[in-house]
Amino acid sequence: MNATHDIAARSLAAVWHPCTQMQHHETVPLVPVSHGRGAWLFDADGKRYLDAISSWWVNLFGHANPRINAALKDQLDLLEHAMLAGFTHEPVIRLSEQLGALTGGVLGHCFYASDGASAVEIALKMSFHYWRNSGQGEKREFVCLQGSYHGETIGALAVTDVALFRDAYGPLVQRAHVVASPDARQAQPGETAADVARRAAQDLERLLQERSGNIAAIIVEPLVQCAAGMAMHDPVYLQEVRRLCDTYGVHLIADEIAVGCGRTGSFFACEQAGIWPDFVCLSKGISGGYLPLSLVMTRDAIYQAFYDTDVRRGFLHSHSYTGNPLACRAALATLAIFEDDKVLERNRERAAQLTAALTPLREHRRVKHFRRQGMIWAFDADIPDDAAASFPRRIFTQALQRELLVRPIGRTVYLMPPYILDPEDSALLGARLLDVFNDVVEA
Ligand SMILES: *Cc1c(COP(=O)(O)O)cnc(C)c1O
């Protein structure tokens, strides 16, 4: 018996783990983390794991980051929390100002919550309520994309097109319209990613022609549908959707919970299409992976539709920890690192290093659709159907043996590392992932 084993057993007895068939832990190990340092997590026995997926896509600048730690320690002695109704504080004001400035003032109003699903529900409610305040209460339907993922609360599931969740909880959910995904992997011979994107936009246009009078908003994950298996698309899709939303009077909600904060190469993914949506949802990386924080940014025209003497025309939504000062300070420290370290620029070098280290995988005979967008890498395993079900668990387990934290989605293996990998980390990650993949697919 070792320390890790005892802690895992206690956890399995008392903790119900997220999105997990708990019985699988009879064969799949549970890893008790004792501490983290940079890109590495350490378990109770001193074994280490390179966090190649940023702990579910949240960690941007490593674990126990000295600058974020210092900001939090400072904030702890000032104010841990105060309610945001009737009160305000410097961290939430500064964060709203700085984020608004990153959109050139276009999305100058920030509304706060604690998790991504809540941010999605806030954007949906705000859109609906905007239309009702504008005398168009019949606009109450939503549109999402095939394979979309926007969170797992009952409201967010309405715009989430994941069969597993839909089948389990479908009867509870008011379903949105589902339109074609612009996933570039659907390209027919001779077709470009932009062709696929235009074809998907035509599918949306058909729906809007018919029903735009009842539709409040479309929600998209710009550039990468992450939970769908890192499905990437051409930015022209976002331009087309923006144009259609303007033509048909429908809001565009950009769920940048996973793709925001520099993940795709620009701070907001939408910047690469040269458009601004009507709402942006942020969470995950915004606090550097430290504390639960989410927010919705929107335009002045939307904000003004709620501005009134009548409380019922105000936006009726709140959470106990709205605008938590500690989380906002972590976010401010995160934004400061982006600026001070020229992170977006330096990520281009980091991306080139890791891409080079992944060359043998890109050329592997069992690899299809090797792809990258910014600091996201993905490829699909070309394996028989009967091997697919156990593939993610086998990769995860083999990766742990080789000091890597990697969790495939179906047949898709992806990397979403923190923005701090040095050339040695990248070389190690590329070499070990190749070994892991060979262990599993050549077995
Ligand atoms: C993770 C995620 C969410 C949900 O965020 P939670 O904090 O897990 O509720 C929503 N949308 C996207 C695109 C995500 O990746």
Q: What is the pLDDT of residues 117-139, one digit of tens each?
A: 999 999 999 999 999 999 999 99
Gap from CA of 144 to ligand 1 centroid (Å): 14
Q: How many angstroms does the Cα of residue 149 sit away from the middle of ligand 1?
A: 7
Q: Which two tokens stand for residue 96?
A: 């709203």
**61 close to 68: Cβ distance less than 8 angstroms:** yes
Element containing residue 404 per DSSP (H, E): strand 404-405
Gap from CA of 294 to ligand 1 centroid (Å): 10
Ligand 1 in reach of 255 Cβ (< 6 A): yes
Which class is 69-340 in CATH?
alpha beta
Instruction: Indicate the top mutation candidate among 159, 220, 283, 295 to test ligand 1's pocket, ranked by most ligand atoms within 8 A of CB.
Output: 283
pLDDT at 1: 53
C-alpha–C-alpha distance, residues 72 and 51, integer Å:
22
Residue 3 clears pLDDT 90, i.e. is over it: no
Compute the distance from residue 118 Cα to the ligand 1 centre, in Å: 9
Cα–Cα dist 36/69, whole Å: 13
Q: Are 330 and 69 in contact (CB under 8 A)?
A: no
Contact at 8 Å (CB) between 131 and 147?
A: no
Give residue 117 CA to ligand 1 midpoint distance, Å.
6
Query: Span 144-164, mean pLDDT?
Result: 96
Domains of the chain, residue spans:
31-64+342-441, 69-340
pLDDT bracket for residue 87 (50, 70, 90): very high
Q: What percent of the chain has pLDDT over 90?
A: 96
282 Cβ closer than 6 Å to some ligand 1 atom: no
Distance CA 17, CA 220 (A): 28
Q: Which CATH superfamily is domain 31-64+342-441 in?
A: Aspartate Aminotransferase, domain 1 (3.90.1150.10)
Pocket test for ligand 1, best of 54, 112, 122, 150 (most atoms within 8 A of CB): 150
Strand partners of residue 35: 42
pLDDT tens sequence across 296-351: 999 999 999 999 999 999 999 999 999 999 999 999 999 999 999 999 999 999 99
Please state, in angstroms and rounded to a whole number, the distance separating the CA atoms of residues 283 and 296: 9
State the closest ligand 1 atom to the C-alpha of 56, by its place in the atom list counted from 1.
1
